[in-house]
Chain A
Amino acid sequence: MKVKMLSRNPDHYVRETKLDLHRVPRNYDPTLHPFEVPREYIRALNATKLERVFAKPFLASLDGHRDGVNCLAKNPKSLATVLSGACDGEVKIWNLTKRKCIRTIQAHEGFVRGICTRFCGTSFFTVGDDKTVKQWKMDGPSCGEEEEPLHTILGKTVYTGIDHHWREAVFATCGQQVDIWDEQRTNPICSMTWGFDSISSVKFNPIETFLLGSCASDRNIVLYDMRQATPLKKVILDMRTNTICWNPMEAFIFTAANEDYNLYTFDMRALDTPVMVHMDHVSAVLDVDYSPTGREFVSASFDKSIRIFPVDKSRSREVYHTKRMQHVICVKWTADSKYIMSGSDEMNIRLWKANASEKLGVLTSREKAATDYNQKLKEKFQHHPHIKRISRHRHLPKSIYSQIQEQRIMKEARRRKELNRIKHSKPGSVQMVSEKKKHIVAVVK
């Protein structure tokens, strides 16, 4: 009889150094690993619970301003540098790694209405209530030098916003009209108006850089073409739009933060229907900024909270608030898409994690694999009621919570009324208007 000996070569399992990784034989026979779905369900449940346990998004508060923070800007070349303008005309430059203010400039008298950095990150522009546009060096003045702007442009009217072109030495301001400025000149090279109203914000398209979007106080959003020096189209909404932000990955998509508590994502080629209406805020939305990945955006609201929305979802996936945070006026998503900064009325800039339960710092490969797996499980079982409930659960301040309830009731009542109207009128005479269409008043060519 032939006897087969079981033998193992020690080379295959003895580790000489800790870097020797031998193949560990595993048996994937499904009969040996039964109950796949229940086991994975439990894992998903645990992952969801852990996510909630570790959800601690608040990182730091940068304090130092002596008035409410009115505007924020990030440095396009440095992740650690953030600029902020306050309502008392003060501009501060912060270092996020040190969480300290590294420079303070008394830039304007009255509000700093807008702040933007040059695409190269060497200088920045501010506009203020004192009808001036000022350009400043990013680096502080050398020893003995006085803190002075590089250039100052005096205007006749107040500038309410400013944005810099993404590639060229051009910037745009808004006030009574949208002006395009060459950095070298003191007169605008081009000025565009459509009707007479104060324009609150202007933004360059980051991809097709000759396009601009602006929103005016007469409830409209106007798009401009810088090359052809003409406005393109105007959409009038129910209420005033405070800011718009272009999607950095999709050239024709922008999101507008509206006073009617909603955000509207538009395809600029079809303005008559927004792509998505994002509702969750319970007060006017004051600012919006896209994640650099273009998948999500963050919005700041007068209801003392900031929310994170996926671009393709109408409901927010996250809400951040603290007891001390007042009306959030400005918000920015950092360029590495990991953090969110918010500037609020009570003079603080807050730093948040974009993913509340994410572990910061370097992850080992096993940690990474585990988080990926957990993420996938959460995604897989996201529809299961128990998991859904846990993952959606957020603690909210009482004011917001009650507001939400109230608004839900109001909305339901409105809907019921509409249904009743349809029911009791001649068939076809009253049409149900979809949520997307409801808020668009007109599109002007």
Chain B
Amino acid sequence: MNANQAAESNLLAPNQQKELEDLPKDYPLSTSEDEEDNDGERKHQKLLESISSLNGKDRQKLADRSEASLKVSEFSVSSEGSGEKLVLSDLLEPVKTSSSLAAVKKQLNRVKSKKTVELPLHREEIERIHREVAFNKSSQILSKWDPVVLKNRQAEQLVFPLSKPQSAFAPIEHVVNGWKARTPLEQEIFNLLHKNKQPVTDPLLTPMEKASLKAMSLEEVKMRRAELQRARALQSYYEARARREKRIKSKKYHRILKKGKAKQALKDFEKLQKVNPAAALEELEKLDKARMMERMSLKHQNSGKWAKSKAIMAKYDMEARQAMQEQLARNKELTQKVRAASESEEEEEGQEEEEEPLVPDMVNGVQIKANGLNPWMVQNHFTDAKEAEIQKDLEDPAEPEAQETSESEEERAVVEEETLLKQFEERRSLRQKSELNHMAEPVHSHVTKDPGSQEVLSELRALCQKLITENHQSGKQELSSARTAQREEPAREEEEPMLLQRPKRARTLDELEELGREECVENKELPRTAVEGLQLEKNLSNHIGAPKEKKRKEQMIDLQNLLTTKSPSVKSLAVPTTVQELEDEEERDQRQIIKEAFAGDDVIRDFLKEKREAMEASKPKDLDLTLPGWGEWGGMGLKPSAKKRRRFLIKAPEGPPRKDRNLPNVIINEKRNPHAAAHQVLPHPFTHHRQFERTIQTPVGSTWNTQRAFQKLTMPKVVTKPGHIIKPIKAEDVGYRSSSRSDLSVVQRNPKRLSIRHKKHLENNCVD
């Protein structure tokens, strides 16, 4: 209320002043009428008021004190006439409702509505709030370190000091200029770089590259690209075609293709001969050399794995065997006949025998090589086009040297022929000798000849034959050709059964047996010369015998299985019969049901077996210290003698009696070894001993690990460099931005907590 009054008085003050100003205007009139009586005066007053209200201005006037009266109030409100009491609202309200007081009212209302200001908090309370806010703030700042701390705690390896010394930042040009090539390798590299003017710094383009880049216009680039695209398309097309052709299996097609190629080559060669004889000669020489190389190498001998296996496989079917026998016979026949045969035949023989690593052939080769001035050899180079064709044709590894010679011979003069005849005779004799030496081997190799090479051979033969028939019309040659043709046939026959072998392999046991028997008979029939073949076949028969036995055994096992599976059921049926009498029928039924349900497993027997096994396992084992080979012969399949074994056998001492020896229904496990238990641990993070064992099992040492792995495995967790000061981790070390403001500046800008009380305290404390 006090406040209200004060405000009112303040607000009223200006109004009063206004009235004072107005006074001189109005009052002369009133003073003149002073003498009139009270009523008249009041009337006059009213009039005045009405006039003033007409004027529109709100005028509040002090009641004029025209006479001495008691009813005069300080606040210019005359209480005369009415005996009512004064109310505040009356005071507040203007005499006349006027707009000028609205603002005042509003202000008053506002003042009224305002509550009192709360008492300031206790200082300790304020401090506490400050502390909490500050704590939250700082812990927020600290929480940015959480990932760093976690990472460092889990790190495989930490290398201290954390902050690497700042490497001086130098542009690459400086480094390169300062560099000197010291080692030969570096020098070589630098030479290369400088030779190609390879720039060492950016941009990494040689001047040439730059020039080419500049030179090529857009159109050019487009053209070039189109060109490249076309080339690529063509290439892919050719590739596809080649692939397609390669996939064609028809022999006829290939033969024709080959022939065509040979013809083409011949033509080319002829052309070359005409145009450039020297080049042709060179070509010839090249071919000759290639052939010689081929002969020297052991590349295409018939002793490959595949060929051998084929030979073994051939034993399984009749046709193949017959074919082989035929071949053997023919081979024998041929080798025998060779002496009588003509030179050309001989050559053909030689051609066939090329495939065997025969010493004479090698000798031949060497001979030819050795006498480079041999007129015959020289002539060989100048053979006509046909021969060249042959050579080209027979680029095959099995290309026969002798045949070629024979071909050349055929076109030579008779005199030369005679001289050569002698040479060939010599060679033949040599070959014969060697063949006698290697009798077994060639036979075997004939048998094991693989179909692929056979095919090649037959082709060769056909080619040769043609040539021969073209060149020679002698009867002998015809004979030989007929012979080769004959030989071809069995060879092909041989192939087919081999291909058909598969289905025949799945045979019954009896059949196999029969086969074995048959083979034995056949073996007897075979010529004695095929020693190795025989051996092989014997092996084979053994092989056949073995599976048969196995099968029988299996049958036995099956029988036994049947027996064993039956036996428990019998037993289980027998048990209830003993107990039967005691039980009711229902129980019996129940039992029966259970028995039937568990008919398969015999628990008692299993238990007994288990116990027996446990007893066996717990028994101490004898120690056998026998060493094979000491004091007697040792080796595969030989066992040390019983006497020796007896001598070196250390009998284990009999262990303590088992605890469960008198308890038939119990197995007491005595495996726990108290001595070993002292070493058995399961450290904290592991829950199962197997987990722990697994960690222990992987060795760390360099004995078991490569150097790199060893280093990685033995990497220490914390590495410190000797003599280096390790500073506390910094925000910059881990990629955080440290605050730019220093702590000191912040403190200086923020002296809020240095209250007057503190200052006084400090002043007392510090007397400088």
Contacts and interface: CB of A to CB of B under 8 A. Distances in A.
A377 B753 CA distance: 58
Interface in A26-45: 28, 30, 33, 36-37, 39-40, 43
A166 B718 contact: no
B466 to A, nearest CB: 37
Given A338-B720, A369-B714, A445-B135, A155 B765 contact: yes
A191 B145 contact: no
Interface stretch (B379-387, B401-409, B721-729): B721-729
A321 interface: no
A182 B714 contact: no
Interface string B487-499: 0000000000000
A215 to B, nearest CB: 17
B697 interface: yes
B766 A187 contact: yes
B700 A377 contact: yes
| Centre residue among B135, B160, B678 by max chain A CB count within 10 A | B135
A157 B765 CA distance: 7
A252 B142 contact: yes
A77 interface: yes
Contacts of A223: 135
B659 interface: no
Given A233-B131, A233-B135, A292-B728, A36 B753 contact: no
Contact of B699 (A40, A154, A155, A369): A40
Given A153-B768, A187-B768, A383-B683, 14 more contacts: A186-B768, A189-B747, A192-B753, A207-B729, A210-B138, A225-B138, A249-B149, A251-B142, A251-B145, A293-B718, A335-B726, A337-B726, A373-B702, A384-B681
B512 to A, nearest CB: 35
A76 interface: yes
B753 A167 contact: no
Interface stretch (B11-19, B309-317, B327-335, B704-712): B704-712
Closest 3 CB pairs of A and B: A156-B765, A292-B726, A206-B728
A205 B588 CA distance: 86
Interface string A204-242: 001111110000000000010111111111000000000
A190 B751 contact: yes
B70 to A, nearest CB: 71
B751 A336 contact: no
A349 interface: no
Interface string A61-103: 0000000000000001101000000000000000000000000
Interface string B76-96: 000000000000000000000
A225 B137 CA distance: 10
Give the interface size class of chain B. Answer: 35 or more
B138 A232 contact: yes
Nearest to A30: B704
Contacts of A233: 131, 135
Contacts of B743: 165, 167-168, 170, 209-210, 226-227
A147 interface: no
Interface residues of A, number: 78
Nearest to A337: B720
B652 to A, nearest CB: 23
Contacts of A190: 747, 751, 753-754
B127 A230 contact: yes
A228 B145 contact: no
Contacts of B152: 249-250, 294
A179 to B, nearest CB: 8
A384 B752 contact: no
A33 B766 contact: no
Contacts of B720: 293, 336-338
Contact of A153 (B141, B160, B727, B766): B766
Contact of B142 (A156, A208, A335, A381): A208
A372 B722 CA distance: 16
Interface in B134-161: 134-135, 137-139, 141-143, 145, 149, 152, 158, 160
Given A40-B701, A189-B747, A373-B701, A207 B134 contact: no
A375 B700 CA distance: 11
Contacts of B727: 76, 248, 292, 335
A232 B728 contact: no
Interface of A: 2, 28, 30, 33, 36-37, 39-40, 43, 76-77, 79, 153-157, 165-170, 180, 182, 186-192, 206-211, 223, 225-233, 248-253, 268-269, 292-295, 335-338, 362, 369, 372-373, 375-377, 380-381, 383-386, 445
B713 interface: yes
A375 B766 contact: no
A327 B563 CA distance: 87
Given A28-B705, A153-B768, A335 B696 contact: no
B758 interface: yes
Interface string B410-452: 0000000000000000000000000000000000000000000
Contact of A380 (B142, B700, B744): B700
Contacts of A384: 679, 681
B649 interface: no
24 contacts: A2-B298, A28-B705, A39-B701, A39-B703, A40-B700, A79-B723, A155-B766, A156-B765, A165-B744, A166-B728, A168-B744, A169-B744, A191-B761, A211-B138, A226-B747, A227-B743, A269-B143, A336-B725, A336-B726, A372-B716, A375-B716, A380-B696, A385-B681, A445-B135
A33 B729 contact: no
Contact of A292 (B160, B730, B731, B742): B160
A293 B716 CA distance: 14
A386 B699 contact: no
A445 B714 contact: no
B753 A230 contact: yes
B130 interface: yes
Contacts of A386: 678-679
Contact of A36 (B134, B139, B679, B699): B699
| Centre residue among B142, B703, B730, B751 by max chain A CB count within 10 A | B142
A251 B144 CA distance: 10
B704 A337 contact: no
Contacts of B145: 207-208, 250-252
Nearest to B726: A292
Contact of B766 (A77, A186, A337): A186
A211 B679 CA distance: 50
A212 to B, nearest CB: 10
B156 to A, nearest CB: 12
Given A79-B723, A376-B714, A445-B131, A207 B728 contact: yes
B299 to A, nearest CB: 11
